[in-house]
Structure formats: C-alpha cells, structure tokens
Amino acid sequence: MKIRMSSPDITAAEIAAVTEVLQTPDLSQGPRVAEFERAFAASLGSAHAVAVSSGTAGLHLCVVAGGVQDGDLVVTSPFSFVASANVVLYERAVPVFVDIDPTTYNIDPTLAAQAVEDLARDRRPQRWLPPRVRGAGPSGRRRLRAILPVHTFGWPAAMPDLCDLARRFALTVIEDACEAVGAECAGRPVGRWGDAGVFAFYPNKQMTTAEGGIIVTERADWAGLLRSLRNQGRDDQETWLRHVRLGFNYRMDDLRAALGLAQLRRLPDLLARRDQVASWYGTRLRSLEGVDPPVSPARDRRTWFVYVIRLASWIDRDAVMRELHARGIPTRPYFVPIHLQPFYRERFGYGEGDFPVTEAVARSTLALPFSSTMTEPQVEAVCQTLRAVLPHAALRR
Ligand SMILES: *Cc1c(COP(=O)(O)O)cnc(C)c1O
C-alpha cells in the first residue's frame, strides 16, 4: 500500500476542462480567468477576486497595495510557511514576529495587541524588533504599517480582535488564507475580514490549480491596483505596452483557471472528504498514549489543510519521523519556525528561545499523510504503524 504525504484530487471533469482550453487560442490570461474570479468571489460573497500565479505572488501584491515600503514594520506569525514573511522582505520592510497561541497555532491576539500598542507609541520597540534591526541605523521611528495574520492549517485566526486592533491604529490587514479555503470566523469567510485575503492552490492545498492563487477584496481601489500590478503595471484598460507603474508578471493562465473552476465546483465535496479523513484519524488516535490529535475550534469553521498531531514530551519527534519513514510512511515537520530558518537567523540575528511557544509547538508536532483521496485502510495503516513505532521513539523517562 503506497501512502503519499499529500495528493491532488483530480477527476475526469478537471481533465476535460483543461483539455478544452488547449483547443482554444487563450493559453494565458483569458476568459476562464475572469470566469474563475467571478465564481470564486461569488462563493465567498466578496466584491472582487484577482487570480494570480501563486499564493506568494498574491501576498506580495497585497503588501505592495498596502503601501508597505522600505523599513516599514509588518506584524505577522513566525509559525508559518516562509512565504508569509518573505513577501514583507520583497518590499524591504521588516516582519515583526509575534508568538502564537498554543491551541490555535495562530498569532496570539493579546500579544499582537501589546506589540502594536508598543510599536505605534514607540514604547519598548526593542522588545519586538528583530535583534539585528534593534540597534541598526538611525533611531528614527519606524512606521508600523500592516498586520498579516495566517489562518494556520485552516484554523481561522482571531479576526474580530485583530481587525479591531488594526482599526484603532489605522493598519492594513492582509489575511494569509492560503491554508484555509472554506473556513469561517464568526460566521464570515476568512479572506473577507481584512483589506484583502489570499488563497493558494498548490497541489497539496484543499483545492488546486497546480500553481496558483487568488486575492479577494471588498475594495474596488485595491482590485484595480492588484490587476495592474499582476499584469506588468498596465493601465486600467490593460492596454498593450502601456505601463503606468512598476508591475510584475504574476498572471494566472486559462489552463489553471479551468482547473480551478472544476475544483471549485467540487470544493464542498473535497472539504467533506478531508473532514472524513480527519475523523478517521481522530477516532483511531484519541486512545493512543502520548499522541494528541489536532483539535478544532468550538464555534468557527475550520477546513483541513494538513493533519498535524502533537507528541508528548517523552517522545522524540524526529525519531518517530525516522521510524515511520523506514516503514514507508512519509511525514513532515509542519512548520520549522520562520525565525529559525538559516536565512532569517543570518539576516536578523534570531536564535533559539526567541519565540518559545512557536518553538515548543514546532518541536513536538508532525504532519501525517493527508488528502481527500485517502482511504480508511490507508489511515488505519498509518495509525497502526505509528502505534508500533512509538515505543522505539520514547526518550528515557
Ligand atoms: C501555501 C502557502 C502560501 C503560498 O504558497 P504558494 O506555493 O506560493 O502558492 C503562503 N502562505 C502559507 C501559510 C501557505 O501555506
């Protein structure tokens, strides 16, 4: 039985949709992109959607649209995929990491409020700034510009609190909803809380366009600007060879949009299958000593991106991964904290201990194989193997 870490869920409908586009002259951005944008916006009830070449590209464009510039500060989470902080660096701004909540794995809203209040009032800014930024350069006040919360593993971040905070301090809110298509916070879809929200469609996400992403926004001014920025800075009419600002080639193409449309039609089913796989895991892992299966929010709606378990402190997580690998079960350490990535250590002077909750979660968690195509026997095999390897991974008590 071959068990993959993740797997896209492609049916005859997707294959037919992509094949059909190949028989038209529209291989780049064309009518299917517009159709995908309309359908995606409608599915969330958003005013505008702008399809782009990746989730990372979408986040980058939002950082540009938010007016984030050299040296500006953007509050975000260190427990995420590296792209959510990298997009801040693309504009030569500084990510201000704020530690996470140990249950939701999302940015801690109380700490975020402290950080924003301190930075906005220039009170103890050193406490929040990266070590290499603290002493460097002129002591002139840095401008706090935006918050970029991440809906980690499909669990909605505390958007009512964070949006309230942003309003009080006139900050832009960019939601990284790349892992959370279909999730809802207080009855409102994620992605529709901030100035903009970004979804990603890499093949391991809840729905895929191969590579691809989409930005949703209620703001007409942002929608126009984002369309121009993704298409080489062309003007509103997207006139050929007339460029009114510095733009990018972050376009989605019609092949991917057709794939996205077919996946979007199946999204309720894709999400329900992921719920089912998560519940197969949950019933089997609940009774396994030393393993905490993931929990879900009490009121908000989460959708499943990855299935991440937490191990007790007497279990060596890396040994579990090695033993599972040796028995043909792939796993991943979701996430290695961003501040401990070699590049971030080097550029900003971060080290162990800077974000203790993030580090404790990162050390003790692992993602099990997970997708909407997984069968109950496959889940059973993963759980049986996990049960078998745990005694080999126990640290001396
Ligand atoms: C997947 C993901 C992205 C964007 O990924 P792309 O590969 O660029 O589409 C951004 N942030 C998070 C948290 C993600 O999981």
Q: Which atom of ligand 1 is nearest to the CA of 179?
A: 15
Q: How far away, in angstroms, is 155 Cα from ligand 1 center?
A: 15
Task: Report the mean per-residue pLDDT for the chain.
Answer: 96
Q: Which atom of ligand 1 is nearest to the CA of 56?
A: 8
Residue 137: predicted pLDDT = 52
Q: How far away, in angstroms, is 333 Cα from ligand 1 center?
A: 16
pLDDT tens-digit readout, 53-109: 999 999 999 999 999 999 999 999 999 999 999 999 999 999 999 999 999 999 999
Is it the case that residue 139 has pLDDT exceeding 90? no
Task: Report which DSSP code applies to 101.
Answer: P
Query: Ligand 1, residues 60, 174, 202: which to mutate, most atoms within 8 A of Cβ?
Result: 202
Q: What six digits make up the tokens of 128?
A: 């929040």
Ligand 1 binding pocket (C-beta < 6 A) is 54-56, 80-81, 83-84, 150, 176, 178-179, 200, 202, 213
Spatial CA neighbour of 348 closest among 338, 357, 362, 356 = 338
Query: Ligand 1, residues 6, 53, 56: which to mutate, most atoms within 8 A of Cβ?
Result: 56
User: What is each CA distance from 71 to 84, 134, 138, in whole angstroms?
Assistant: 17, 12, 11
Is it the case that residue 387 has pLDDT exceeding 60? yes
Q: What six digits make up the tokens of 28?
A: 């780049």
Q: What is the average pLDDT across 370-390?
A: 98
Q: Whose CA is nearest to atom 5 of ligand 1?
A: 55
Task: Say if residue 140 is exposed, middle or buried (CB neighbours under 10 Å; 0-12, 13-18, 19+).
Answer: exposed
Q: In this predicted model, which residue has the larger pLDDT, 61 or 242?
A: 61
Q: Which atom of ligand 1 is nearest to the CA of 202?
A: 9
Residue 239: predicted pLDDT = 79
Q: What is the average pLDDT across 363-382?
A: 98
Query: Ligand 1, residues 148, 174, 176, 209: which to mutate, most atoms within 8 A of Cβ?
Result: 176
Q: What is the average pLDDT across 348-375?
A: 98
pLDDT band, residue 389 (cuts 50/70/90): very high
Residue 235: predicted pLDDT = 87
Is it the case that residue 290 has pLDDT exceeding 70? yes
Q: What is the average pLDDT across 376-396?
A: 95
Q: What percent of the chain has pLDDT over 70?
A: 98
User: What is each CA distance from 308 to 365, 377, 387, in whole angstroms?
Assistant: 6, 19, 16
Is it the case that residue 14 has pLDDT exceeding 60? yes
Residue 134: predicted pLDDT = 78
Query: Ligand 1, residues 59, 100, 179: which to mutate, most atoms within 8 A of Cβ?
Result: 179
Is it the case that residue 244 has pLDDT exceeding 50? yes
Q: Whose CA is nearest to atom 2 of ligand 1?
A: 178
Q: Where is average pLDDT lowest: 37-46, 105-114, 141-150?
A: 141-150
| Beta strands at 291-292 and 188-189: parallel, antiparallel or unpaired | unpaired
Q: Which atom of ligand 1 is nearest to the CA of 204?
A: 1
Q: How far away, in angstroms, is 387 Cα from ligand 1 center?
A: 31
Residue 122: predicted pLDDT = 87
Q: Which atom of ligand 1 is nearest to the CA of 201?
A: 9
Query: Ligand 1, residues 52, 63, 81: which to mutate, most atoms within 8 A of Cβ?
Result: 81
pLDDT tens-digit readout, 19-30: 999 999 999 999
pLDDT band, residue 140 (cuts 50/70/90): low
pLDDT tens-digit readout, 298-332: 999 999 999 999 999 999 999 999 999 999 999 99
Q: Which atom of ligand 1 is nearest to the CA of 84?
A: 11
Q: What is the average pLDDT across 265-274?
A: 98
Contacts of 229 (CB under 8 A, 6+ apart): 61, 64, 65, 245, 247, 248, 250
Q: Which atom of ligand 1 is nearest to the CA of 211?
A: 9
Q: How far away, in angstroms, is 390 Cα from ligand 1 center?
A: 31
